[in-house]
Amino acid sequence: TQLLEQSPQFLSIQEGENLTVYCNSSSVFSSLQWYRQEPGEGPVLLVTVVTGGEVKKLKRLTFQFGDARKDSSLHITAAQPGDTGLYLCAGARTNAGKSTFGDGTTLTVKP
């Protein structure tokens, strides 16, 4: 059973467009993290959200944690080719450190 569903699975857009990717679950999480992974490398943490309704901004990236702490979204404004990569969400329920990852959204931004 996949606890975290990410959508869309693939997204190909032109430079300058806006996009939103989603991470949904029927389970409540203590925190949710977003990672970006480039080909041939390990994932790199972008942000951690903890509070229901929390919004965090990282330059052109806006992350939101759902009020019920079951879902999250990542919005990118004016996408650039450097945003290309696999975006992964990961949820954790306790302080045990066991994160559950979604299957990821592969984003391609064409110049």
Interface contacts to another protein, rule CB under 8 A? 4, 6, 9, 30-31, 33, 40-45, 48, 50, 88, 90, 92-104
Which residues have C-beta within 8 Å of that of residue 50, sequence separation ≥ 6?
Answer: 30, 31, 65
Identity of the amino acid at 34: W
Whose tokens are 């306790």? That residue is 94
- Do 106 and 13 form a contact (C-beta atoms < 8 A)? no
Q: From CA 72, how far away is CA 91, in angstroms rounded? A: 10
Closer residue to another protein, CB minimum distance, 66 or 104: 104
C-beta of 33: minimal distance to another protein in Å? 8
Closer residue to another protein, CB minimum distance, 75 or 93: 93
Closer residue to another protein, CB minimum distance, 14 or 96: 96
C-beta of 78: minimal distance to another protein in Å? 27
Strand bridging mode 10-14 / 105-110: parallel
C-beta of 38: minimal distance to another protein in Å? 11
Closer residue to another protein, CB minimum distance, 28 or 78: 28
Identity of the amino acid at 92: A
C-beta of 53: minimal distance to another protein in Å? 17
